Each structure stands twice: as structure tokens, then as C-alpha cells.
Structure 1
Amino acid sequence: MKTLSIGIPAYNEEKNIGLLIETLLKQKLDDIKLLKITVISDCSTDKTDRTVNSSTDLRVNLVKNIERKGKAFSLDRLFSISEADVVVIIDADTVIKDTNFLQKLVSPILNKGADLTAAQIEELPSRSFVGQILDASMKFKKNIYYKYKNGQNVYTCCGRARAFSKKLYKSIKFGKKFTSSEDAYSYIYCNINKFTYYPVVLAKIYYKLPQSLPDHISQSMRFFNSKNELTDNIDDNILKTEYYLPTSLIVGSFLKILTKYPIILFYIPILVLSSLQSKFDRSSNTPWEVAISSKNI
């Protein structure tokens, strides 16, 4: 039987890490065996480490970075210590509602020859005005991303939940070049090196959007900085191809969402503000961008 390991990079995730581990241990797996769940704590200062260590399941273990290194470093470390046939990486601030989530996420690797899969992200309900604007913006974006090339594009390869074949995770390395862009880079690396990517729309992972403008701008810096990282390290022609989206699809999707969620109009100035902020701040080496309001899930 094929084997599975789960890696959870975490920094100050005491509010959710216990529930996430409990949920993962209750997952139903048909043709793959869960070997272990490894939480890599990036110098957490809250009760994250204590919560992980309190688990009585021997498959749950904690690995601590001796200094803050960020998610990309933690992924490299997870891959280096893993030997399972499949490694699933899950963000610590996410919610899983489906007991078959893991089986759905790894199935294309087990049965269709895929090397990388990504779950479809779903937003938990927002209460704040900013959060509701961002909810509408995500409906707009996902309407584009999953239609374009049937989801076979860089935009659907979200880092919140992915599965890697052993062949891929033993080959890829993020290092210091891709600290903010590790999710996009994993997709591009697949394409360049003839690995196979598969977006799994039936495997849904839930998360909370930032509920304040400062938190959103802080989180947006990761996206803008990720493109800067990729530009610095990957051929421009490759990036233009990977990030291309048809104008007709963008306009059509915006008009469709506008009729249902007119609040999306407020997203335009937010996008402009975030973009302008990124022009003055190219510091992509921050170990971990934390949007506090997105942690209250």
C-alpha cells in the first residue's frame, strides 16, 4: 500500500492547529496509509508547540526551526526528512470539512499519474465590510482561474493544500530564491520539468480572508513579491505564458460577479492601493507574513 505523510508549516497557530490535526487524523483513506503528521514550527511564541506535543497519537510529531526561516525553508526541511510515496502540505490556518478530503487530494497522484495536486480554496464567511469585499473579489478570481484551461494554470495552484509525489518532492527545492512564491514556483517547476499538475476541485479547503485593510495589504505583499521573485529567477517568456489570462474572460467574469455582488466595485481602489504599495516595498524576504484578522476562524 502507498504511504502518505502530512506536513504543516506553522507560526503562532495555537487557535487552529489542534483542531486541524484532529480533523486530519479522522480522514478516511482507501488506498493509502497515513504514516505521520509533522508540524514544523517556525519559532512559534504562543502555544502551538505545546498543542502539537499534547497529541496522544504517535503519528503526530513536532519539528522546530531554531530561528524563523519562513514557509519555503520549512517545506524544504519537510521534504528532506520525508520518505512517503506522497507528501501533503497544508497551511495551519485552514479548515477541512470533508472526511474524504485527503483521499480526493491524493487520488490523481495514485490513479492518474499526477505529481502535484492542489485543493480548491473556499472562503469562510466574512463579517467585516472589507472581508465581504474580498469575498466578492475571490468569487471573481476563481470564476476566471477554474475556467481558463480547465484550471490547468498557475493561479489554481494555491499553497493552502497541495499533494506532491515522491518523484517531485525529492526533486524540487525552494531555497532562498522562492520564499514568497513557493506555491507558484511549484506549478512552474512542474511545467518546466515535465511533471504533471492536477487541480482537484472536489477537494475543498476553507480559510478566512483578512478582515481589515491593513491586514489585506500586508498579505497582498506576498503575491506581488512572489511575482518579483519569479521575475528575478525565471525567464520572462515563461512567466508571460504562465500568468496570461484572456481579457474577454476577465471582463465577462467581472460583469457576471458585479450583477450578483456589486460590492466588488470597492475592490478596485483596494487593488490599486495594494499595487502602489508593492512598488515601494520589494522586501520579499520577510519570513512569515501574518494577517492577524485571518486567524480568527
Structure 2
Amino acid sequence: MGKSISIIIPAYNEESRIEKTLAEIENYCKKNLKSYEIIVVDDASTDNTYKIASRHKNKNLRVIKNQINSGKGYSVKRGILESKSNLILFSDADLSTPINELDRFLYYIGNGFDIVIASRNLKESKKVIKQPWYRDVMGKIFPMLVDIFIIKDFKDTQCGFKLFKADVAKKIAKVQTLERFAFDVEMLFIAKKMKCR
């Protein structure tokens, strides 16, 4: 089987942007990928996210709805376990990391890496979407605490744009326990224990 990719979009109350996000991802995929699927996992949104995503006409799109709000970690895990491709990307619904960054990520996966992670904390990182000041501050403090107390050598564990080889992602998802904030840290902690590259 050639390279195929599942793009997982965890979504909660994203009605104002899910249509634009799906259009951008679909446009990128049609131009750049031979085999792909897009999986939106709606985390029991109280708005029209599920309805808007479901009306998109694309044979490669699946929209799944959690019956109760279970958290971003749960939604990502569910998407991973339901994916059918040999590569898995999860991306925040706001596309704060532009989908065309996937080109660079595929290069690294093609050169033997198991996981490739975007980072907002590298010198060359460009912030496309401005965050409130307190999120910027927490975005600098949290990685330092993670580095000191949990796992070293990750500049940004929380950036919502990560590409995995599917076999690695599925092994991680099967043992992952955190379903809300900091699930990313647990995923990377497990990956490090598994000696992923």
C-alpha cells in the first residue's frame, strides 16, 4: 500500500470556522495527496458544527459525533483508532498551523521519523493566529514545566499539528489515558518510552 493519510480534526463548537477549514484541507489534499481521508470528530458540540461538517460533499470525509463531551484527547484517540491510513495527522480546527506545513512533515516521515510535531516555540515559527496574552505566557511556561518534570527535549508539546506513522499512533492511543488537557504530553511520553524517533 502506498502512502495514505488520515487527517483528524477534533472539533468542539467550531461552527464559525469548520466549513472554511474543511475547504482548505480538501483543496490541499486534492492537489497534493493521492490517498487521504478526513475525519472530523465532533465532541458533542452545542452549536451546528456536526451539521455543517456533515453537509460537506466529499467521499473522503467522515464526521463522527461523540455522544457526550469527552475532551480533545478522547476525540483525537477516537479518530486515530477509527482511521484507515498508514499516516495520521491531527490538526486543530482553526488551522493555526497551515495545512501546507504537511509537506515538510512528510519529508521527515519519509526520512525515518515516526512522529513529526509542529512548534510555536522555535525561532523560525510564525504565529498566524494571534492568541490572548495569557495563552502566550502559558505557552512558554507549560513547556518548561513539562521539560523539567515529565519529558525533555520537546519545544512545544501542545501544538495541535502532529503527524504519526499509523502503527505508532495506534499503539499510543491504545494505552493513552488522558482525555482532556495535556493528553499531548502523555502521547509524547508514551512515544518516548516506546523509543520512537
Q: Compute the TM-score of the two structures, normalised by the length of structure 2.
A: 0.78
Deviations 1:154-211 (A, max 9, x none): 3423341111102211211266732222111122112111111xxxxxxxxxxxxxxx
Q: Which amino acid aligns with 2:36?
A: L
1:226 maps to which residue? none
Residue 120 of structure 1: aligned partner = 119
**Native 8 Å contact 1:72 1:175 kept in 2:** no
Match of 1:170 in 2: 170
Q: Structure 1 pair 175/47, CA: closer, same or farther in 2 (3 Å)?
A: farther
Partner of 1:27, secondary structure, is helix
- Kindly report which structure 2 residues correspond to 1:97-112, keeping only aligned pairs within 5 A, or say none: 97=98, 100-109=100-109, 111-112=110-111
Unaligned runs of 5+ in 1: 145-151, 197-297
Q: How many angstroms apart in 2 are the aligned matches of 1:167 and 1:176?
A: 14
TM-superposition CA deviations, 1:213-233 (whole Å, max 9, x none): xxxxxxxxxxxxxxxxxxxxx
- For residues 188 and 29 of structure 1, what CA distance do their matches in structure 2 show? 34
Give RMSD over aligned pairs.
Answer: 3.0
1:70-109 → structure 2 map (5 Å cutoff): 70-97=71-98, 100-109=100-109
Q: 1:154 to 1:184 in 2, by over 3 A?
A: farther
Asked if 1 retains the 8 angstrom alpha-carbon contact of 2:74 and 2:178, the reply is no
SS where residue 173 of structure 1 aligns? helix
Task: Tell me what 1:191 maps to.
Answer: 192
Tell me the matched-pair count: 183
Structure 1 contact 119–161 (Cα < 8 Å) conserved: yes
Distance 1:83 1:158, change over 3 A: same
Structure 2 distance, partners of 1:28, 1:73, is 25
Q: Which residue matches 2:66? A: 65
Aligned AA (1:165): K
Q: Secondary structure at the match of 1:13?
A: coil
Structure 1 pair 167–44 and aligned structure 2 pair: CA distance change class (3 A): same
The unaligned stretches of length 5 or more in structure 2 are: 121-126, 145-151
Instruction: Name the larger-Rg structure.
Output: 1
TM-score by length of 1: 0.54
- Corresponding residue number in structure 1 for 2:147: none
Letter in 1 for 2:100: N
1:175/1:42 Cα in 2 relative to 1: closer, same or farther (>3 Å)? farther
Q: Give the structure, 1 or 2, with the largest relative contact order (CA under 8 Å, sep 6 or more).
A: 2
Partner of residue 123, structure 2: none
Q: Aligned AA for 1:170? A: K
Q: CA separation in 1, counterparts of 2:85 and 2:8? A: 11
| Deviation, structure 1 residue 5 | 0.8
Deviations 1:28-71 (A, max 9, x none): 68885342111011111211011101212221221111122112
**1:3 and 2:4 are equivalent in the alignment:** yes
The structure that is helix-richer by fraction is: 1
Instruction: Report how far residue 140 of structure 1 moved.
Output: 6.2
